[in-house]
């Protein structure tokens, strides 16, 4: 019997309504572990290379990994994956809360949706009972409204993942909401779900997951809880959550301001962790099995507006919907946070898109007439609310922003692409890489586009020198294997990154859950690298090559110096970016064209993928001998 897993998978054809349940293959489980491992493999194998992300052949994959729902350090996560309408490559995004664990309690490790439903539906799971049900009563509702309505109709003990109107209208950066304010936010996974007319998934599970050695697992976890309770980072994390990084990022000159025009927002004091706690916090919130409680549940009261409740703003929202859009009051940022959550758009690409439009308006590239008589001024809530509604309802110029950066920049013209702060269509996370070159490299090379979760390097950039270009690429490679590993096993990476739960402790926990006594950290790291290479090959097979041409940010990041703040004068050139890319490809065992080589693919057991790339003329030539271990181990300091 497969231990540590629910043991079953669901296959659902939304076009025909067919639902199939089958056992999870133990060999598949060991090889890909779950989460983004399952996502990568299923998308690569099953989605035709020319399939439209919004077509019936795209898959929506929902999968908690081995940690989820088990007694370990925060097994709270669940991955949602699909070929992304942003990058046209593999896309995956995790959500915390309680959804993944509940799915495990119902006995499922994997749901794969295909097809498009002829009418709005939601998936109902109550242990063995699985049904597609009519969702027309919920269609058009916001994510949190849908969650509340389904809980009212089905019972409070159901966990809900739902999309909002943005996903229904296929806004490419639409997200999936859960637990009244947590999201699988990135890669447009919500847009794919809404495009399939799947409004929600409601799950209740009452089984327990079979575990190999619960008493020893309990001992290990209790030992970790006791030790980490004393960690110096624990108290600030519990008090402020990630919101405290607003001040930190400003002081370190990496805070995106006015669409990344500069990296210091002089009015940040009104939107930092302090005002969040003092002015709007109602209570702390935690995901399943978590003792860090970084979630902040807030009440927002603004004159002339309804009182609203939102989880946040956490750092990414506090930066990208904060100073990046010119907001200097925590209530305003929280209100924009609530708006995005309600209509169901990712606050990260969403915040970026709003700021991009604001800069275009500032520079006269967008007119008042195109905004239906409104303006789009920095820090103006009414303007932003109106713009969001134009995008979500795809009205006028909002139609082009709803399609993503490329369509919007092409429509606006006048060199607007310079102001699209993104890589591969994914809006940048809330750190400017001009004063932290490895961070920029991490964005450039991330398989899903500019997302900090794949590798976060700011403290390493500081340790090794903020203006140092050479020698950092191999560390980025290592971080790109270790950090996303937590999305594969579905645990929260903050336990590793911030309170020093070690990588080996995670491996020990997996062994105790599964009984895989020979499982090692090396095997886990190789899996992470295998996923990385598979996703790169998938991206190339869909988009063509060479891969290198997709690995550059917009010109701002290699042509403009930072104009103000602690990083004033920091500047990278295109030649700097090329030096970093050359080092990076060599560290990965790829060709200088950015395409994976046969040698590295075969070393990872991906011979079939090498053959596919060769047939497509997309195989790279090794530029240096294949490094036996790809990447150099490094653990950046926490904040």
294 binds ligand SF4 (CB under 6 A): yes
Nearer to ligand SF4, 182 or 511 (CB): 182
Q: How far is the CB of 291 from ligand SF4 (least distance, A)?
A: 8
Q: Cα(628)–Cα(617) distance, rounded to whole angstroms?
A: 25
Q: How far is the CB of 320 from ligand SF4 (least distance, A)?
A: 18
> ∠ at Cα 66 (62, 69), nearest 5°?
85
Q: Which of 74, 79, 533, 595 binds ligand SF4 (CB under 6 A)?
A: 74
Nearer to ligand SF4, 316 or 551 (CB): 316
Nearer to ligand SF4, 249 or 453 (CB): 453
Q: How far is the CB of 292 from ligand SF4 (least distance, A)?
A: 4
Contacts of 303 (CB under 8 A, 6+ apart): none
Q: Which of 292, 321, 355, 408 binds ligand SF4 (CB under 6 A)?
A: 292
Q: Cα(420)–Cα(436) distance, rounded to whole angstroms?
A: 19
Q: How far is the CB of 318 from ligand SF4 (least distance, A)?
A: 15
Contacts of 25 (CB under 8 A, 6+ apart): none
Q: Cα(199)–Cα(14) distance, rounded to whole angstroms?
A: 12
The single residue listed with the structure tokens 């949190």 is 144
Considering only the stretches 268-276, 284-292, 326-334, 429-437, report the one whose residues sit in contact with ligand SF4 under the rule CB under 6 A. 284-292
b/e burial code for range 8-32 (CB count within 10 A of at least 16 → b): bbbebbbeeeeeeeeebeeebbeeb
Nearer to ligand SF4, 204 or 296 (CB): 296
Q: Are 129 and 93 within 8 A, CB to CB? A: no
Q: Cα(76)–Cα(489) distance, rounded to whole angstroms?
A: 10
Question: Residue 22: phi, psi to the nearest 5?
Answer: -150, 165
Q: Cα(627)–Cα(9) distance, rounded to whole angstroms?
A: 37
| CA-closest candidate to residue 242, choices 150, 347, 399, 366 | 347
Total interface residues for ligand SF4 by CB under 6 A: 12
| CA-closest candidate to residue 217, choices 67, 5, 63 | 67
Q: How far is the CB of 153 from ligand SF4 (least distance, A)?
A: 27
Q: Which of 58, 76, 114, 488 binds ligand SF4 (CB under 6 A)?
A: 76
Q: How far is the CB of 486 from ligand SF4 (least distance, A)?
A: 10
Q: Are 472 and 455 within 8 A, CB to CB? A: no
Q: Which of 72, 75, 295, 591 binds ligand SF4 (CB under 6 A)?
A: 295
| CA-closest candidate to residue 524, choices 503, 500, 501, 502 | 503
Considering only the stretches 11-19, 52-60, 283-291, 460-468, report the one whose residues sit in contact with ligand SF4 under the rule CB under 6 A. 283-291
Q: How far is the CB of 295 from ligand SF4 (least distance, A)?
A: 5
Nearer to ligand SF4, 295 or 433 (CB): 295
Q: Which of 290, 345, 489, 531 binds ligand SF4 (CB under 6 A)?
A: 290
Q: Are 176 and 190 within 8 A, CB to CB? A: yes
Nearer to ligand SF4, 320 or 572 (CB): 320
96 binds ligand SF4 (CB under 6 A): yes
Q: How far is the CB of 494 from ligand SF4 (least distance, A)?
A: 4
Question: Sign of the CA dihedral 133, 137, 139, 143?
Answer: negative
287 binds ligand SF4 (CB under 6 A): yes
Considering only the stretches 3-11, 15-23, 29-37, 288-296, report the one whose residues sit in contact with ligand SF4 under the rule CB under 6 A. 288-296
Q: How far is the CB of 184 from ligand SF4 (least distance, A)?
A: 13
In what helix (H) or strand (E) does residue 475 lie, and over which residues does it extend?
A: helix 473-482
What's 312's DSSP letter?
-
Considering only the stretches 246-254, 287-295, 303-311, 401-409, report the one whose residues sit in contact with ligand SF4 under the rule CB under 6 A. 287-295
489 binds ligand SF4 (CB under 6 A): no
68 binds ligand SF4 (CB under 6 A): no
Considering only the stretches 221-229, 293-301, 324-332, 479-487, report the one whose residues sit in contact with ligand SF4 under the rule CB under 6 A. 293-301
Q: How far is the CB of 76 from ligand SF4 (least distance, A)?
A: 5
135 binds ligand SF4 (CB under 6 A): no
Question: Residue 12: phi, psi to the nearest 5?
Answer: -130, 120
Considering only the stretches 7-15, 83-91, 285-293, 522-530, report the one whose residues sit in contact with ligand SF4 under the rule CB under 6 A. 285-293
Residue spans of alpha helices (H) in 307-346: 315-320, 330-343
286 binds ligand SF4 (CB under 6 A): yes
494 binds ligand SF4 (CB under 6 A): yes
Q: How far is the CB of 506 from ligand SF4 (least distance, A)?
A: 14
Q: Cα(184)–Cα(174) distance, rounded to whole angstroms?
A: 9
**Strand partners of residue 308:** 300
**Strand partners of residue 622:** 591
Nearer to ligand SF4, 102 or 529 (CB): 102
Going across the sheet that includes 182-184, the strands are: 129-134, 121-126, 198-204, 159-162, 176-178, 182-184
Contacts of 629 (CB under 8 A, 6+ apart): none
183 binds ligand SF4 (CB under 6 A): no
What's 591's DSSP letter?
B
Question: Residue 10: phi, psi to the nearest 5?
Answer: -120, 135
Q: Which of 340, 455, 492, 613 binds ligand SF4 (CB under 6 A)?
A: 492
Nearer to ligand SF4, 187 or 494 (CB): 494
Q: How far is the CB of 633 from ligand SF4 (least distance, A)?
A: 23
Q: How far is the CB of 311 from ligand SF4 (least distance, A)?
A: 10
**Site residues (CB under 6 A) for ligand SF4?**
74, 76, 96, 286-287, 290, 292-295, 492, 494
């Amino acid at each position: 019997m497969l231990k540590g897993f629910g043991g079953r998978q669901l296959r659902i054809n939304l076009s025909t309504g067919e639902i199939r349940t089958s056992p999870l293959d133990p060999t598949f489980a060991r090889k890909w572990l779950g989460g983004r491992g399952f996502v990568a493999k299923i998308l690569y194998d099953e989605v035709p290379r020319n399939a439209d992300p919004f077509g019936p052949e795209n898959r929506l994959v929902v999968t908690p990994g081995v940690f989820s729902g088990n007694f370990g350090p925060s097994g709270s996560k669940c991955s949602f994956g699909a070929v992304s309408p942003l990058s046209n490559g593999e896309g995956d995004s995790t959500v915390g809360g309680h959804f993944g664990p509940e799915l495990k309690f119902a006995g499922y490790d994997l749901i794969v949706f295909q097809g498009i439903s002829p009418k709005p539906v939601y998936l109902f799971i109550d242990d063995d009972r699985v049904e597609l049900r009519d969702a027309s009563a919920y269609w058009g509702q916001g994510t949190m409204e849908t969650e509340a309505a389904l809980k009212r109709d089905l019972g409070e003990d159901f966990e809900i993942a739902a999309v909002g109107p943005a996903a229904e209208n296929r806004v490419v950066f639409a997200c999936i909401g859960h637990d009244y304010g947590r999201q699988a936010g990135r890669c447009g996974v919500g847009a794919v779900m809404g495009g399939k007319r799947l409004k929600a998934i409601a799950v209740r599970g009452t089984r327990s997951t079979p575990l190999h050695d619960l008493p020893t697992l309990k001992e290990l976890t209790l030992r970790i809880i006791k030790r980490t309770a004393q960690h110096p980072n624990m108290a600030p994390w519990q008090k402020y959550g990630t919101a405290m990084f607003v001040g930190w990022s400003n002081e370190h000159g990496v805070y995106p301001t006015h669409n990344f025009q500069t990296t210091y927002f002089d009015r940040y004091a009104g939107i930092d962790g302090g005002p969040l706690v003092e002015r709007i916090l109602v209570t702390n919130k935690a995901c399943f099995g978590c003792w860090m409680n970084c979630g902040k549940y807030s009440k927002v009261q603004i004159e002339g507006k309804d009182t609203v409740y939102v989880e946040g703003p956490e750092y990414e929202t506090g930066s990208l919907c904060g100073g990046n859009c010119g907001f200097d009051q925590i209530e305003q940022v929280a209100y924009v946070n609530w708006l995005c959550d309600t209509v169901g758009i990712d606050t990260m690409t969403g915040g970026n898109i709003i700021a991009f439009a604001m800069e275009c308006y500032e520079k006269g590239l967008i007119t008042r007439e195109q905004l239906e008589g409104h303006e789009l001024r920095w820090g103006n809530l009414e303007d932003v609310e109106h713009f969001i509604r134009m995008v979500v309802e795809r009205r006028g110029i909002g139609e082009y922003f709803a399609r993503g950066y490329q369509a919007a920049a092409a429509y606006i013209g006048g060199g607007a692409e310079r102001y699209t702060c993104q890589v591969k269509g994914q809006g940048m996370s809330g750190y400017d890489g001009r004063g932290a070159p490895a961070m920029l490299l991490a964005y450039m090379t991330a398989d899903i586009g500019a997302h900090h979760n794949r590798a976060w390097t700011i403290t390493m950039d500081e340790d090794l020198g903020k203006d140092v270009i050479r020698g950092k690429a191999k560390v980025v490679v290592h971080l790109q294997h270790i950090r996303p590993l937590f999305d594969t096993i579905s645990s929260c990476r903050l336990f590793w990154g911030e309170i020093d739960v070690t990588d080996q402790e995670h491996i020990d926990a997996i062994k105790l859950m599964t009984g895989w006594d020979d499982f090692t950290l090396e095997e886990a790291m190789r899996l992470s690298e295998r996923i990385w290479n598979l996703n790169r090959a998938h991206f190339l097979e869909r988009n063509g090559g060479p891969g290198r041409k997709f690995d550059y940010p917009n010109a701002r990041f290699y042509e403009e110096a930072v104009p103000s703040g602690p990083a004033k004068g920091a500047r990278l050139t295109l030649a700097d970016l090329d030096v970093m890319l050359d080092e990076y490809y060599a560290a990965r065992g790829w060709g200088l064209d950015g395409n994976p080589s046969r040698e590295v693919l075969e070393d990872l057991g991906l011979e079939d993928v090498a053959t596919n790339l060769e047939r497509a003329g997309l195989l790279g030539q090794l530029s240096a001998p294949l490094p036996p271990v790809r990447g150099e181990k490094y653990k950046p300091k926490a904040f």
